[in-house]
Amino acid sequence: MVRNRTPRNRRSSRQDAVVVIGLGRFGRSLALELADEDTEVLGIDENPEVVQLLSGSLTHAVRADSTKEDALRQLAVHEFDRAVVAIGTDLEASILTASLLISFGIENVWAKATSEAHGRILTQLGVQHVVYPEHDMGQRVAHLVRGRMLDYIEFEDDFAMVKTDPPTAILDVPLSSSAVRTRYGITVVAIKRPGEGFTYATPDTVVRADDTVIVAGRTRATERFSELR
């Protein structure tokens, strides 16, 4: 396949813009969040009602079948550096779309997978970032349900950040004295006093009972810390 532009030209034209294909619940929320952060977004969906609904909120919202190469080229999708395939249920459409984006040489393609097999195929096609929203959100909520966490983010390699109420053992003394790192294997990263925003924690920070803290560390250590009373 002959590309219309060199990578340098492509980058200069659409460097910060993102194309989001499939504007269902996942794609829509992603596209709107990007638009909220002032990112130029081209949203594509084959359903005219969906496109109509989002036409005022995204930079461009266009009706097209993303499995058709000509349609994508007409929309200059091949000029983007970042694209998201947010089609899940229609496996064929997801795979065909992803394979076109990869053949365009788009540097960063994200695609939503609804199963492990779906994800494996996307990876084999060359999709750089495969995401599993339902699976990941299920895991995240499980952590919230099990512990006393207020929020939870797990990174790869067994590392997590947790927002939680502080346990009694660390209250009313500087963090350096409560030795949270050696005792609990976590680091208090930030602290929020009632009615105030989050600030970075320092060794001199004194945590009070009605504060909220964000801690980072190995997944199990952060969970154990959030379960302390």
Binding stretches for ligand ATP (CB under 6 A): 22-27, 44-47, 50, 65-67, 87-90, 93
Q: Least separation, in Å, of the C-beta of 187 and ligand ATP?
A: 36
Do β-strands 60-63 and 82-85 pair in parallel, antiparallel, or remain unpaired?
unpaired
- Residue number, 18 or 93, with CB nearest to ligand ATP: 93
Distance between CA atoms of residues 106 and 109, nearest Å = 7
174 torsion bin: left (phi>0), alpha (psi -120 to 50), beta (else): beta
Nearer to ligand ATP, 26 or 152 (CB): 26
The answer to whether 44 and 19 are in contact (CB under 8 A) is yes
The smaller minimum CB distance to ligand ATP, of residues 27 and 167, is found at 27
CB of 28 to ligand ATP, least distance (A): 7
- Least distance between ligand ATP and beta carbon 182 (Å): 45
Q: What share of the chain is helix, strand, coil (3-state, %, to 5)?
A: 40, 25, 35
Least distance between ligand ATP and beta carbon 224 (Å): 34
Q: Which is nearer to ligand ATP, 23 or 201 (CB)?
A: 23
Q: Considering just the CA atoms, what is the radius of gyration of the chain in Å?
A: 22
Q: 170 with 180: CB under 8 angstroms?
A: yes
Q: Smallest gap, in angstroms, from Cβ of residue 117 to ligand ATP?
A: 15
Shortest distance, position 2 Cβ to ligand ATP, whole Å: 24
Longest dimension (CA), the chain: 67
CA distance 110 to 57: 22
28 or 143: CB nearest ligand ATP: 28
Helix (H) or strand (E) holding 97: helix 91-103
Q: Which is nearer to ligand ATP, 71 or 190 (CB)?
A: 71
